[in-house]
Amino acid sequence: MWTNIIQQLWELKHEPAASDGDDEQVVVLDRYQEVLGQRGNFTHHAFVAVLSFLVFGLVPPVVYGFSFRQSDDKDRKLAAVAAASLLCIVLLSFAKAYTQSQNPSNCIKTVTYYVVVGFGVSGASYLVGGLIHKLMEKLNWFEYPSSTPAHGTLPLAEIGKRAWESY
């Protein structure tokens, strides 16, 4: 995934600047400069992009893994992960808004946009996860066969093993 980020930055760096306008007034449209800044800072931009991907991408799973370990309260874990994700989205969107424009109204628009998109995507993935869970329960993929020991395997593994028994 991070190699894809570097590849997109590389392509953005080597994308030629386009000109727009007539002979009297030529406006040079440079997407790299518009999105990231000066082209000479490519190494810095790539490093910050990969580092932020790793740091901000690891926050929600780490919060999930280390929160409420004693009680294993799923609802509180979900709330903690949602709060950590929201904090990451707000921090990253503030950083983007600050680097692109220091106008406070643009900053509020950018943060609001990314928070709304984050909530939408999170809600959709939560709903899809619930539907997949219901489907797996309906197909009995969560039930252990009675012949397996207490630490048994999932029926999915059993299905795969049975498929190869005929060979």
> What is 45-69 written as a DSSP string?
HHHHHHHHHHHHHHHHHHHHHHTTT
What is the mean pLDDT of the segment spanning 115-140?
Answer: 90
Whole-structure pTM value: 0.65
The contacts of residue 160 (CB under 8 Å, 6+ apart) are: none
Spell out a b/e string for 116-138, using b for 16 or more CB atoms within 10 Å of the CB, else e.
Answer: eebeeebeeeeeeeeeeeeeeee
| Residue 33: both structure tokens together | 């400069």
Summarised one tens digit per residue, pLDDT across range 38-73 is: 778 888 888 888 888 899 999 988 998 888 878 878
Best CA proximity match to 96, nearest among 119, 113, 118, 83? 113
